[in-house]
Structure 1
Amino acid sequence: MSLPSNVHVSKHPCLRAKLSLLRSKSTPTRDTKALVNEIATIVGCEALGATLTAIDGPKDETPIGFEYTTTTLEPQSLSLVPILRSGLGMVESIQTLLPTPVPVHHLGLYREPSTLEPVEYYNNLPQHQGVASVAIVLDPVIATGGTCAAAIQTLREWGVRRILVLSVIGAADGVRRAAAEWPEGVDIWTAGVDDELTPDGMLKPGVGDVGDRLFLTIGK
């Protein structure tokens, strides 16, 4: 499968096995939440390891009196941007990976059913504070890519210098569309990529509607 150079599909064997479990219709909500969290953790490790740099910080002292040089991250200005609703299932895992708390800014986007194009209904990016250097978009399923591309455009207009998109799974065409929105400023990291979409914009075979599975709203 040919994908752009700014798309990174994990080859981690544990990740592939967990994704297989997530695909199953017999996986209950509790396990779905756990699997999304675990997949996000592995994808996050790979993405942050390739993006952030450990640098020397100020001096500190151990409990028994030895001085040492602390370690901090560069860039230091980060924010998490979950796409509502399903992106909420990835927030805790990435917060756990990062050594210090970072702001969480929510974006609400949905696909208009007839056109499958994104519609923004919520945006709490701060307009009177410093803009993050790196925004980490949490979007578990990239289907048509429209929602992810819209989020990238919104964050670019906000002024971020770089965007990491962390995803559980994407469709090949959707991932290409999102990656092309800002090729020099965006990297997409995902656990897997499917070849096809159904006519109504669902991944095939996919994982179903992750938001519905996480929040028990299947059949709404």
Structure 2
Amino acid sequence: MAAPRQLPPNVHVSNHPCLLAKLSQLRSKDTSAKDVKTLIHEISLIVGCEALAQAITVVPGPAGQTPLGFEYQTATSQPTTISLVPILRSGLGMVEAAQTLLPTPVPIHHLGLYREPTTLQPVEYYNNLPNHVQNLAEPPSSLAIILDPVIATGGTCVAAIQTLKEWGTQRILVLGVIGAAEGVIHAAEEWPAGVEIWLAGVDAELTDRGMLKPGLGDVGDRLFLTIGK
């Protein structure tokens, strides 16, 4: 077997001890749907906090006043145009965490993508980016944040990156829980200059059905209790 390729420099895998413990809990088949939802949220908070610390900067704003009447220097985050792009369905489990971290509300643009079972290639079935709506003149966000818990073959992530790049976004942040090494590399190499990928962990292998090994199972099924559909 060939040695695994080194992850590209635009891939960041956390070594936060609390995150690693939560990821271990999430792997278990005995973890309930309620706890899966909680763990996805908590892991997303930690990964998102690490990622946004690098992706967002703060600039001085106008003077403000505290409830006691003291003046202080306000701070404004940059870039000012950010959007969240959850990949349906499982990306929905990460939205609340991302919204909690960002200092102001931002648009949410959903992308529906699934893997064709035979070829494992991505198929888009839903897209509500503004340029797909007639007569809506909304410029693309400077920073688009893809929310996708699992990067397996990387095909879905690559398709989302291509769509957002065509939309005109300047930078893409991919927040995930876990990925397979080959899929993460595939996604990272799609647009190295414009994409940063942040994960809690990376597995070395994929099964012949394109599932991570040992992985987490199907996160969408575990979140929405549709196992065995």
Assess same fold via TM > 0.5: yes
* 2:204 aligned residue: 195
Q: Which blocks of at least 5 consecutive residues in structure 1 are unaligned?
A: none
Post-superposition shift, 1:97?
Answer: 0.6
Structure 1 residue 28 corresponds to structure 2 residue 32: yes
* 1:106 aligned residue: 110
Letter in 1 for 2:169: V
Post-superposition shift, 1:67?
Answer: 1.3
Q: Distance in 2 between matches of 1:40 and 1:81?
A: 14
* 1:46 aligned residue: 50
* 1:89 aligned residue: 93
Look up the SS of the partner of 2:18 in the other structure: helix
Alignment partner for residue 117 of structure 1, among 118, 121, 125?
A: 121
Q: Distance in 1 between matches of 2:224 and 2:28?
A: 17
Look up the SS of the partner of 1:87 in the other structure: helix
Aligned pairs for 1:113-192 (under 5 A) are: 113-127=117-131, 128-192=137-201
* 2:134 aligned residue: none
Q: Distance in 1 between matches of 2:129 and 2:194?
A: 19
Q: Distance in 1 between matches of 2:24 and 2:68?
A: 48
Letter in 1 for 2:82: L
Alignment partner for residue 7 of structure 1, among 4, 11, 14?
A: 11
Q: Distance in 1 between matches of 2:210 and 2:25?
A: 22
Residue-pair matches, total: 220
Q: Which blocks of at least 5 consecutive residues in structure 2 are unaligned?
A: 132-136
Runs of 4+ in 1 over 6 A off after TM superposition: none
Percentage of identical aligned residues: 71
RMSD of Structure 2 on Structure 1 (CA):
0.7
Encode CA deviations 1:35-65: one digit per residue, 9 max, x unaligned: 0000000000000001111111111111111
